[in-house]
Structure 1
Amino acid sequence: MIYVVLSCRYLLAGVFLVALVGKLRSRATYLEFVAATGALLGVGDRAARRAALSTVAAEVIIVCALIAEPAARVGLGLAALLLGCFTVALLSALRRGSTTPCRCFGASTTPIRVEHVLRSATLGVLALAGLLVDLTLATHHYAPAGVAVSVPAVAAGILLSTRLDDVVDLLR
């Protein structure tokens, strides 16, 4: 089970890292993220700027905590909490009929849809499951072979999560 926890940690760290790079790669993409945040939350510019900055700060903290072994449980807990907030915010925006693009990973033009809610909820469940399993573990010693087996699954999960719009469009 230790490799399940490790996989959850690095999958979530990878997803949040891709999200950070997508939002912060230029001033324009960050400002688009701020505007999308305001539209999704139904708030004004000032609240949107604060929410966007808080999101970025939380994602940085989560990535660092998930990578650092002593803070992994904190990272999993914070990831579950933030993803729960994302899920509620996206669901609320959908119920209001918002067609704002989800700028979770940067410059997407795809309006939010149920798949975005499901992605956030699924990642949140993974974070919570990883935390609960981690709490049952007595040690955190990893064999190289176990880590090597986890890497392709983590990479596939990151790719699927961050390219969800492309995958859904391909399957339609």
Structure 2
Amino acid sequence: MNYLDIGCRALLTAVFATAAIGKMRPGGFAGFVASLAPIRWIGAAARRPAAVATVAAEAAAILLLWIPGTALAGYLLAVGALAVFTATLVIGLRQGTTLRCRCFGYDAGPVRPHHVARNLGLGVVAVLGLAAAATTTMATDPAGWAIAILVGAVAGLVTIRWDDLAFVLSSPTR
């Protein structure tokens, strides 16, 4: 039974859908494009195409994860996109560049190590889902599907609200 695959699909769908929709809302896309300015390897002329490619990759990953026969491609796209996102954050942090997290279309403040941890965790989910989808057959029990989707969606919600959780769990400053 492959409920791990289903849960991973649900989690990645919740995160990527929220990210893509957030970036496409009024003001969200322009803000996302502007947030790419401090990234040294993305020139001014490439910012808008890079932002379009990001949203397209997020949306395409969702579709591929759920279209029969294309889940492995969806997982591979998710792994690749998350690797690029994570590498960009790590490089920016190492260079001392102030990047703004507009992952979900709104300004969540400056990128911090917990954003890297979030992306690494999502990468692990994508790899686990890929392994599960590649090595087992699809589950057929509707109740199992419902539970796996619910667990994945709740985990996705936790991931989406990661910044709030990091704030709540951080040490108070004086």
Range into which the TM-score falls when normalised by the shorter chain: over 0.9
1:19 CA drift (Å): 0.1
Q: Distance in 2 between matches of 1:79 and 1:86?
A: 10
Map 1:98-137 → 2, pairs under 5 A: 98-137=97-136
Aligned-residue identity in percent:
39
Q: Distance in 2 between matches of 1:68 and 1:122?
A: 24
Counterpart of 1:147 in structure 2 is 145
Gaps of 5+ in 2: none
Counterpart of 2:156 in structure 1 is 158
The C-alpha deviation readout for 1:90-138, integer Å capped at 9, x for no partner, is: 100111112221111011241000011111111111111211121111x
TM-score, normalising length: structure 1: 0.92
What is the count of residue pairs matched by the alignment?
170
Equivalent residues of 2:10, 2:153 under 8 A apart: no
State the Cα RMSD in Å: 1.4
Equivalent residues of 1:98, 1:112 under 8 A apart: no
Equivalent residues of 2:64, 2:70 under 8 A apart: yes
1:35 CA drift (Å): 1.2
Gaps of 5+ in 1: none
Counterpart of 1:18 in structure 2 is 18
Counterpart of 2:74 in structure 1 is 75
Secondary structure, in 3 states, of the residue corresponding to 1:69? coil
Counterpart of 2:54 in structure 1 is 55
Secondary structure, in 3 states, of the residue corresponding to 2:109? coil
Equivalent residues of 2:32, 2:51 under 8 A apart: yes
Compared CA separation, residues 32 and 145, structure 1 to 2 (3 A): same
1:40 CA drift (Å): 3.3
Bigger RCO of structures 1 and 2 (CA < 8 A, at least 6 apart): 2
Equivalent residues of 1:11, 1:154 under 8 A apart: yes
Counterpart of 1:170 in structure 2 is 168
Equivalent residues of 1:35, 1:45 under 8 A apart: no
More helix by share: 1
TM-score, normalising length: structure 2: 0.91
